[in-house]
Amino acid sequence: MWDKTSERGSGRLGVKVETSGQKIFYFRFYWEGKRSFILLGRFPEMSLAKARQLIHDYAGNLKESINPKTAREEQAIQAEIAQRQKELQGSIEQLINGYTTKMREDGKRTWKAVLYALEKEVYAIIPRSTKANEITSIHIKRILAGMIQRDAVVVSNRLRSYLMAAFNYGLKADNDPANHQQDVLFGLQMNPVSVIPKQSAAEKPGTHWLKLDQLLSLLGDFPKAPKVGRSVSQLLNLCVYTGGQRPYELVSSRWEAINWEEKTLLIVPEVSKNKRNHLIPLTDSAIDMLKQLQRENDQQSAFIFPQRVKPEQHLRTDSFAQAIIYYRKHFPDSPSFIGRDIRRTCKTLMGELGISKELRDRIQNHALQDVSSRHYDRYDYLAEKRDALEQWDRRLNGTEYTTSNVVSLFRRA
């Protein structure tokens, strides 16, 4: 039976009733003088109202001189493409994994810590399978607000920066030919973290540093604190006697990095924070410390500072941080400090000796940003750094004005 309500030239809605009683809707139209049919659907899955809506769209195609069958096929193709794109859209888990994998490939040593932090905080609020392009600033706000409510304000700023970087990675990943997730599209239009403000009040630049007598007392008392191991004590000594090196760069260095004849320690790019070779001149005091560590290396580890239980791995820097906590508990009247204050203390006290800031920056392996340093100057400043560290060594050992009959502080400790 054919509907008689349609206007001429716009096709007609029909229903076919089979012998079984099942009803099927069709659309009949003429194209280039030939009669054509489109099966619309079966009743009751296809309602009469839905069938009328469909033929209304097809009638519109005819008025625009478009073959309804061709239009229908094109719609099916577009729907399939849209569905495929939706299936390819990456989840927040794929975004986080992709970002931290990129960090690892770029040699960022913190990638594991960043992955752990993101997994811990994000998945508690957002399911892993959530599409990355469905995440809004409201989701981000909920994550950070929970951290702030538990007084982890500084940590919330760190997580915000991780999320900002992760979504920036996702914005570029779809068009990056080097992206290892070629079968994943994130379809991001904006970074939802960009409108979330940083908690600036929580970020106060460190200003604390120890006076010389306080630093000397620390070096002498540190190994006396319970649970502070010999290896960690020597790590503190070596950090100080090398002018405030980063603890991670020392603990992850291997014995092969030491040139005993030239008295140098090479921090290789795989370890260095700025991904450049960093050559540290070693004073006699530092050499004595290293030789003592070498004698105590009964497990023949490749690392200067190996883990006691797993000597094939280097000492973790959080062991150093924990040792500082033990020290502060045992010596409650000592000046309060954290690991980063040691580096600042060395920088400040060497400045008091008249060592230039540029040379102190080079000793501590800061990434110098001027064009000359970044692109042209490849001089290692070894002689200048050695003179400065020997001057620093004499001050630590109380031998600025005499070089005879002196016992190094770390030996007394």
Please write the tens of the pLDDT for every residue from 219-265: 999 999 998 988 999 999 999 999 999 999 999 999 999 999 999 99
Q: Which of 365, 356, 384, 390 is nearest to 246 (CA)?
A: 365
SS3 253: coil
| pLDDT score at 86 | 58
Using alpha carbons only, give the angle 324, 258, 284 rounded to the nearest 5 degrees: 70
pLDDT interval class at 139 (50, 70, 90): very high
C-alpha 338/C-alpha 322 separation (Å) is 10
Q: Is the pLDDT assigned to residue 406 strictly greater than 50? A: no
Domains of the chain (ranges, CATH numbers) = 12-86 (3.30.160.390), 92-202 (1.10.150), 212-412 (1.10.443.10)
Q: Taking the alpha carbons of 379, 384, 390, 394 in that order, is the dihedral positive or negative?
A: negative
Lowest mean pLDDT among 132-141, 259-268, 316-325, 383-392: 316-325
Cα of first residue to Cα of last residue in the chain, in angstroms, is 104
The whole-number pLDDT of residue 254 equals 95
Model pLDDT, residue 232: 93
- What separation in angstroms does the CA of 291 have from each of 12, 116, 238, 286, 288? 96, 37, 12, 9, 5
Average pLDDT of span 372-383: 75
The predicted model gives 362-386 an average pLDDT of 80
CA distance 31 to 62: 9
- pLDDT of 399 reads 77
In the predicted model, what is the mean pLDDT of residues 331-343?
Answer: 88
Give the rounded percent of residues in the chain with a pLDDT score beyond 90: 51
CA dist 263 and 241 (Å) reads: 13
User: Which pLDDT does position 31 carry in this prediction?
Assistant: 86
CA angle 269, 270, 274 (to 5 degrees): 50
User: pLDDT tens, 6-53?
Assistant: 677 778 888 999 988 899 998 888 887 788 888 888 898 888 888 888
Cβ–Cβ under 8 Å, residues 228 and 326: yes
Is the distance from CB of 278 to CB of 267 less than 8 angstroms?
yes
Contact between residue 139 and residue 126 where contact means Cβ atoms under 8 Å apart: yes
3-state secondary structure of 259: strand
For residue 378, the model assigns a pLDDT of 66
Q: What is the pLDDT of residues 281-296, one digit of tens each?
A: 999 999 999 999 999 8
Q: Which of 32, 79, 28, 31 is nearest to 54 (CA)?
A: 28
Band (pLDDT 50/70/90 cuts) for residue 375 is low
